[in-house]
Amino acid sequence: MLDEADVKAPDPTDFRHARTLMEVHRPDVPFAGRTAVLATKHRKLRLIAPPMRPLGMDVTAVAVDTDELGTFTGEVPRPGPPLETAIAKARLGMAATGSALGLASEGSVGPHPTIPLVTADIELVVLVDAERDLVVSASATSLDIRAVTRSIEPGGDPTDSLDHFGLPGHAVIVRPNQGPPTPLFKGLRVPADIATAVVDCAAASPDGRARVETDLRAHMCPSRRPTIRLAAERLAARLATGCPACTSPGWGCVDVITGIPCRWCGTPTDELRAEVDGCPACGHREERATIATNTTGDPARCQRCNP
């Protein structure tokens, strides 16, 4: 369902809505006069539209059913990597509206890719421009994500068990602890409602317990929102940057290079040495050092000195 706050009329005092021919040709306003459709069910417009405004881009939400591309609550498994899912979502929105410009976001909450035992929220925002034949994405990672799972027995006061869920700002999902995921209750914030759902789900579970977990859908999970916003800001920064070779918008970091030489033995360590900027249109790449040339690496991160 589309949130009403997501579809409010454009602000007439915002000069971006009064476009001139001059503005259309300003290279620093690469999307002037164009409207992107954001495929979302979960009120992400207010997070993603504002960063796009300086590009001259209007963003409207389209309520397409992105659940067929997998759900956060796990009823439908995700078919592929987050970037592919985000691009597919954007194309769904474009197909539904006939727009040549689509935006979508995709989040994944799970084990941090490099830090053991830490849960990370990785948010991705992607722009698909059919006119320019361009796909540009940006991401942001946060460790400040609330993702809690508890198995709870029915009866008694669930308040103690619910301490870490961040209610009522966050919401929870309740399902049977074992067996098929029905019944399934989403978006619960009130302890009494959760207690009732726990009774129903525990009765359906072979072990007589209910599983209560953080509802990670963006409109139920405030701890995801700043990360989605940051990813959108990074995408906007990329879209505002032209490729030095072909001037296409979308120039930005696409890869990193590790290998600062170890202070003790000179072997390349796994520390970041440079970032690689790339163009989504022509494939041009440039390496950009992130350290001074004579920097030496930490022996603790050297395979030879500290295996």
Q: How far apart are CA 39 and CA 125, in angstroms?
A: 11
CB 148 within 8 A of CB 161: no
- Tokens of residue 271, six digits: 């520390």
Cβ proximity to Zn ion: between 228 and 302 the closer is 302
Shortest approach of Zn ion to residue 302 CB, angstroms?
A: 3
- Tokens of residue 278, six digits: 């790339």
Binding residues for Zn ion restricted to 228-267, rule: CB under 5 A: 243, 245-246, 248, 262, 264-265, 267
Shortest approach of Zn ion to residue 261 CB, angstroms?
A: 8
Shortest approach of Zn ion to residue 31 CB, angstroms?
A: 17
3-class SS at 142? strand
Shortest approach of Zn ion to residue 268 CB, angstroms?
A: 9
Rounded to a whole number of angstroms, the distance between the first and last alpha carbons of the chain is 53
Shortest approach of Zn ion to residue 294 CB, angstroms?
A: 17
Binding residues for Zn ion restricted to 276-305, rule: CB under 5 A: 279, 281-282, 284, 299, 302, 304-305
3-class SS at 110? strand
Q: How many CB atoms lie within 10 A of CB 30?
A: 20
For residue 272, give Cα distances in angstroms to 58, 92, 261.
37, 37, 11
Cβ proximity to Zn ion: between 107 and 297 the closer is 297
Cβ proximity to Zn ion: between 221 and 243 the closer is 243
Pick from 189, 237, 234: nearest CA to 212: 189
Cβ proximity to Zn ion: between 131 and 157 the closer is 131
Residues touching Zn ion, count (CB under 5 A): 16
Helix (H) or strand (E) holding 186: strand 185-188
Shortest approach of Zn ion to residue 250 CB, angstroms?
A: 8
Site string for Zn ion, 38-57 (x = CB under 5 A): --------------------
Q: How many CB atoms lie within 10 A of CB 137?
A: 25
- In this structure, what DSSP letter does residue 146 have? -
Binding residues for Zn ion restricted to 132-161, rule: CB under 5 A: none
Residues lying near Zn ion in the complex (CB under 5 A) = 243, 245-246, 248, 262, 264-265, 267, 279, 281-282, 284, 299, 302, 304-305
